Amino acid sequence: MKKILGIIGSPRKKGNTFELVSKILEGSKSIGAETDIIYLGDLKISECDGCHSCWKGLECAKKDDMNEIYPKIINSDIIIFGTPVYWYGPTALIKAFLDRFVFFNCPDNRNKIKGKKTILVIPFEEDNFDTAKPLELMFEKSFEYLELILINKIVVPGVGKKGDILKKENVLQNCFNIGQRIA
C-alpha cells in the first residue's frame, strides 16, 4: 500500500490549494492508498539557521514541529507540495518547510528521501502561466538537487478567491484521476 503525504503551504484554511491537494488524496484513498495531510499554517516551523546539527547525526537544533514531520516524510512514498504563488514565489510557510530539507542533504540522511516521488500543486490569482514559472523552477531545482522525482505538476491560474477552484470541475477531476494513478 502506497503512503501519500499532502503538504498544504497556504495559510488559507480550506482554500484552493487545500481543495486541489485533497482531491489528489481522495483519488489515492479510493484505490486503497494510505494518505495524510499536513497544514503548515497549524504548525510552528522555524527557519533553518545552517547550524548543521543534522549533519553531525544529531536531531535538528530547532525544537519545533518539523522534527515530528521528518518521520512522515521518510515513511511516505509520494509527497504532494501545495502552495499558491505569493510574489512570484512560494508562501513563507512552505519556504521554511523546504529550507528545513537541509536535513536530507546530509550524506547520512540523503537515502531517506532520495528517489521519492513528488507532485507540485500551484494555484494562483493571475491568468498568465508565466506568473508561476519562478516558483516552479525553485521547486524543480530543489527536487533535482535532493534527487526527488517530480512526477506531476498541477498549475492552475485564475483562482484567487477562496473557492474559485470549485468552479473548475475538469481540474478537480484531473486531480482525482492523478491520485488514482499514483496509488
Give 1's pLDDT tier (boundaries 50, 70, 90).
Answer: confident
| Average pLDDT across the chain, whole number | 94
Distance of alpha carbon 24 from alpha carbon 65, whole angstroms:
25
For 91-128, the pLDDT digits (tens) are 999 999 999 998 998 888 899 999 999 999 999 999 99
Distance of alpha carbon 148 from alpha carbon 63, whole angstroms:
26
For 8-34, the pLDDT digits (tens) are 999 998 999 999 999 999 999 999 999
Total residue count of the chain as it appears in this document: 183
Residue 78 CA, distance from chain mean position: 10
DSSP tag of 95 = H
Q: How far apart, in Å, are the Cα atoms of 71 and each of 81, 109, 110, 113, 163?
A: 16, 12, 14, 11, 32
pLDDT at 23: 98
DSSP tag of 46 = P
Beta strand pairing status for 3-8 and 78-82?
Answer: parallel
For 54-72, the pLDDT digits (tens) are 888 777 888 999 999 999 9
pLDDT at 22: 98
Topology given in CATH for the domain delimited by 3-182: Rossmann fold (3.40.50)
Q: How far apart, in Å, are the Cα atoms of 32 and each of 9, 64, 80, 98, 117?
A: 25, 32, 17, 28, 18
C-alpha radius of gyration, the chain, whole number: 16
Question: What are the sequence ranges of the domains in the chain?
Answer: 3-182
Which residues sit opposite 149 in a β-bridge? 117
